[in-house]
Amino acid sequence: MNSATVIGRSSARSRAEAAQRWGALIGGSAVAVFGLTRRSPAGYALAAAGGTLAYLGVKNSSAVRDYEARASVLLNCTPDEAYNFWHKFEDLPLFMRHLDSVSQVGERRFRWVAIGPMGVRVRWEAEIVSDRTNELIAWRSLPGSDLFIEGEVRFGAATGNRGTLVETRMRYSSPAGALGRAVTTLFGKNPSFLAQQDLRRFKALVETGEIPTTEGQPHGRRSAITAAARWANPDRPIRRESRASEVLSAMRRIA
Amino acid sequence: MKAVCWMGTEKISVENVPDPEILNPRDAIVKITSTCICGSDLHLYNGLIPTMEQGDILGHEFMGEVVEVGVGIDREKLKAGDRVVVPFTIACGRCFFCERQLWSCCDNSNPNYWIAERMMGYSPSGLFGYTHMMGGYAGGQAQYARVPYADVGPIKIPDGIPDERVVFLSDIFPTGYFGALNCDIQRGDTVAVWGCGPVAQFAIRSAFMLGAERVIAIDRFPYRLRMAEEAGAETVNYEEVDDVVETLKEMTGHIGPDSCIDAVGMEAHDNSLMYFLDKAKQTMRVETDRPIVLRQCIQACRKGGTVSVPGVYAGFDDKVPMGAFMNKGLTMKTGQTHMMRYMRPLLERVEKGEIDPSFVVSHRVPIKRAPEMYKKFRDKQDHCTKVVLDPWANGAVAA
């Protein structure tokens, strides 16, 4: 699993920055905790200073705005099956769980709506810039969008008759402003991990006609700790799983 | 419905929960008529396998009647009213691995594949009622269960065969058989089996079926060793000998068993210093498993032989004698059982009367007694070998 690659920065430099950020966060937190345990005015002042340092550490870590996400998966199907499935852009939200909808607005133009933190909707229009049957689809957002996105998906016959190798690559960058930051937070989870999860769902959908899920199954009493842990899980899905009926009707359309 | 839920380490409770519903096109809902407690459930009971959550429904050995099937299922393959045994591994039937009959390695059935990937590199298939790392599927110690990809796993059972003869096709019978098959037994071989629990009992009988001449069974509970003797095995009570490996040497003319089956897994017992060290590390969560039997298997196996591991291991093991393994040129075969390969041929053996798997049953109780049965089974009280739960009974039935 790749971690997010920051475009235009050397890995050594980004490692050094990460060390600084973590240093500020951990050191600042430690100073804050120490200060609080003193229970004196000087202690509280120390705590405030430590807290500020930790805050800067966290804040600095979310200042990065350019991302590249890469993912790949081996599909047990022919390249044309995979290509045809992906080519129905309107159905991408079935397996891309950060998307709300994709709708066609022109011959090669689509309007994408993604779901950001707290349910904020982020919209962009993208144009297909390259489309080679059973090989490649590439798209790019148009000026005036909430963010810049460049994406491509490649389909290639795998070695040894093992089906199709699907590779995706997406680059995001967001302009400044609240919305831009919201998107950054969303994709800042780890874009490659999210993209890989999307591809795994794509694989399940193409191979089996459904996406495996346990959402909606019964269980006994959950504890508050379990509930909190589920909520705080950074890999918690952004929206619920696509419903079986939606998946089925999409499969029929594609067939 | 009533369901047996994991509420924490050594905390089991029978809860009232909503009935399961069809969630995906290829799902089915099964009304459960018999369901069992597996030895591997005890690792969950003891809290030793990560990613359980309070409220999870346990159980992966169950059978019953199909009451509803999803729209994606061909009615020729499965329909309401069919009597089925459900395998504990969940497989999609369409991926690279399923096509190669590696059913327990299915690539699509674990929605939480990424948790398992962090521990194992790649994720095995989803399992019923066996941690969130393995999919987080609700288990079958309940009155109903949702079965995903129901056109692949469940095997239809003709009426007239009692539940107890076929319910073990859901796990332990194929698992014991797979353990013996993995030994690549040649006619006349000697096979040593560590553990005399239910999986081991089936491994012992399968080893004879596959042509072994001698089977040596190792355990510490006389009632379990007797059950192995009834199948024709020679037995070693490891609490009565100084050293199991030395004993096996003496029993085999210092050549060693041709193959060794570890039907114990991560919670092995022993009287050695190493056991207490492993136990301490496991309690402190610096080692997930106590690989005492695995070490003994590698030491005891004859040169060029095979170690077969149907016992469950969860994570990381210390001081596995890799030097012995390499220099003796051993082979190790293991895995969760590729259930769909073996259920049908083993059902045929049961139908022909070649084996009656119900010999392992020691307790038949209503589901509400599940909590006490977990404890009894774990502590080997009351000669407990296998517990079958009746999800619909109210009163107790003597075994």
CB B365 within 8 A of CB B9: no
CA–CA dist B30, B68 (Å, integer): 7
Q: Between the CA of residue B301 and those of A51, A200, B196, B271, what are the distances in Å?
A: 60, 41, 18, 21
Nearest to B126 among A196, A212, A217 (CB): A212
CA distance B172 to chain A (A): 25
Rg (CA), chain A: 22
CA distance B15 to chain A (A): 6
Which of A214, A223, A233, A248 to mutate against chain B (most B CBs within 10 Å)?
A214
pLDDT of A12 > 80? The answer is no
In this prediction, residues A240-255 reach a mean pLDDT of 72
Residues 335-394 on B with a CB inside 8 Å of A are none
Residues B21 and B157 in one domain: yes
Alpha helix stretches (DSSP H) within chain B: 39-45, 96-99, 113-120, 163-166, 172-181, 198-209, 222-230, 244-251, 273-283, 292-300, 322-327, 339-351, 370-378
What pLDDT does A246 receive?
Answer: 76
Nearest to B18 among A212, A218, A235 (CB): A218
Q: Last residue of some domain: B305, B334, B363?
A: B334
pLDDT of A234 > 80? The answer is no
Q: What is the CATH number of the domain that holds B276?
A: 3.40.50.720
In this prediction, residues B318-336 reach a mean pLDDT of 97
Residues B73 and B129 in one domain: yes
Residue B1 touches chain A, beta carbons under 8 Å: yes
Nearest CA in chain A to B18: A218
Nearest to B5 among A203, A220, A244 (CB): A220
Residue B25 touches chain A, beta carbons under 8 Å: yes
Residues B154 and B188 in one domain: no
CB contact under 8 A, B95 and A76: yes
CB A151 within 8 A of CB A91: no
Residue B178 touches chain A, beta carbons under 8 Å: no
CB contact under 8 A, A220 and B7: yes
Residues B269 and B370 in one domain: no
In this prediction, residues A83-105 reach a mean pLDDT of 92
Nearest CA in chain A to B126: A212
CA–CA dist B262, B269 (Å, integer): 13
Cα A176–chain centre separation: 19
| Pairing state between β B234-237 and B214-219 | parallel
CA distance B138 to chain A (A): 7
Residues B163 and B182 in one domain: no
Tokens of B211: 């042509």
CB contact under 8 A, A226 and B22: no
Residues B9 and B141 in one domain: yes
The total of other beta-carbon atoms located within 10 Å of residue B232's CB is: 14
Q: What are phi and psi of A33, to 5 degrees?
A: -65, -45
Reported as type and span, the H/E element at residue A173 is: strand A164-173
pLDDT of A219 > 70? The answer is yes
Its domain, for residue B381, covers: 2-171+337-390
Tokens of B100: 């190669």
Residue B121 touches chain A, beta carbons under 8 Å: no
Chain B residues inside the 8 Å CB shell of A200: 113
CA–CA dist A155, A164 (Å, integer): 6
pLDDT digits (tens, 9 = 90+) for B359-399: 999 999 999 999 999 999 999 999 999 999 999 997 544 44
CA distance A58 to chain B (A): 25
Nearest CA in chain A to B137: A214
pLDDT digits (tens, 9 = 90+) for B85-141: 999 999 999 999 999 999 999 999 999 999 999 899 999 999 999 999 999 999 999
What pLDDT does A175 receive?
Answer: 61
Which of A181-190, B252-261, B298-307 has the weakest average pLDDT?
A181-190
CA distance B89 to chain A (A): 14
Rg (CA), chain B: 20
Q: Position A187: which residue type?
A: F
CB A131 within 8 A of CB A115: no
CA distance A83 to chain B (A): 18
Nearest to B94 among A76, A193, A247 (CB): A76
Please provide the average confidence, as pLDDT, over all residues in chain B: 96
3-class DSSP state for residue A201? helix
Residue B53 touches chain A, beta carbons under 8 Å: yes
CB B306 within 8 A of CB B318: no
What pLDDT does A22 receive?
Answer: 65
Interface confidence: ipTM more than 0.90: yes
CB contact under 8 A, A216 and B26: no
What pLDDT does A62 receive?
Answer: 46
Q: Between the CA of residue B373 and those of A47, A114, B377, B379, what are the distances in Å?
A: 53, 50, 6, 10
pLDDT of A3 > 60? The answer is no
pLDDT of A7 > 60? The answer is no
Reported as type and span, the H/E element at residue A69 is: strand A66-75
CA distance B53 to chain A (A): 7
CA–CA dist B127, B123 (Å, integer): 11
Is residue B352 included in any domain, yes or no? Answer: yes
Reported as type and span, the H/E element at residue A195 is: helix A191-208
Residues B42 and B138 in one domain: yes
What pLDDT does A6 receive?
Answer: 36
CA–CA dist B68, B21 (Å, integer): 9
Is residue B397 included in any domain, yes or no? Answer: no
Q: What angle do helix axes A11-38 and A41-61 make, rounded to 10 degrees? A: 160
> pLDDT-derived band of residue A178, with 50, 70 and 90 as boundaries?
low
CA–CA dist A132, A94 (Å, integer): 23
pLDDT of A120 > 90? The answer is no
Please provide the average confidence, as pLDDT, over all residues in chain A: 79
Residues B322 and B353 in one domain: no
Is residue B395 included in any domain, yes or no? Answer: no
CA distance B278 to chain A (A): 29
Residues B313 and B166 in one domain: no
In this prediction, residues B284-297 reach a mean pLDDT of 94
Residues B190 and B318 in one domain: yes
HSE toward the beta carbon, residue B301, CA cutoff 13 A: 30
Is residue B161 included in any domain, yes or no? Answer: yes
Residues B154 and B183 in one domain: no
Task: Report the domain count for chain B.
Answer: 2
Chain B residues inside the 8 Å CB shell of A76: 94-96, 99
Nearest to B136 among A208, A214, A248 (CB): A214
CA–CA dist A9, A65 (Å, integer): 12
Which position has the higher pLDDT, B47 or B397? B47
CB contact under 8 A, A212 and B135: yes
Q: Which of A82-91, A148-157, B300-309 has the highest mean pLDDT?
A: B300-309
Tokens of B130: 């066996």
Reported as type and span, the H/E element at residue A231 is: helix A224-232
| CA-closest candidate to residue B227, choices B244, B208, B247, B202 | B202
CB contact under 8 A, B20 and A223: no
pLDDT of B237 > 80? The answer is yes
Nearest to B111 among A193, A214, A244 (CB): A214
3-class DSSP state for residue B170? helix
Is residue B399 included in any domain, yes or no? Answer: no
Q: Last residue of some domain: B334, B353, B381?
A: B334
- CATH numbers and ranges of domains, chain A: 11-61 (no CATH), 66-215+222-254 (3.30.530.20)
Torsion of CA A197, A201, A207, A213, to 10 degrees: 120
CB contact under 8 A, B3 and A217: no
Which position has the higher pLDDT, B82 or A14? B82
Is residue B350 included in any domain, yes or no? Answer: yes
pLDDT of A64 > 50? The answer is no
Is residue B396 included in any domain, yes or no? Answer: no
CA–CA dist B12, B182 (Å, integer): 34
Count of all residues that appear for chain A in the document = 255
Q: Position B356: which residue type?
A: D
Chain A residues inside the 8 Å CB shell of B25: 209-210, 244, 247-248
What pLDDT does B290 receive?
Answer: 95
CB contact under 8 A, A244 and B24: yes
CA–CA dist B207, B266 (Å, integer): 23
CB contact under 8 A, B53 and A221: no
Q: What is the CATH number of the domain that holds B356?
A: 3.90.180.10
Q: Last residue of some domain: B291, B311, B334?
A: B334
> pLDDT-derived band of residue A159, with 50, 70 and 90 as boundaries?
very high
Residues B113 and B189 in one domain: no
pTM: 0.86
Contacting B with CB below 8 Å, chain A residues are 1, 74, 76, 162-163, 193, 196-197, 200, 203-204, 207-223, 225-226, 235, 244, 247-248
Q: Between the CA of residue B264 and those of A14, B1, B296, what are the distances in Å?
A: 47, 33, 12
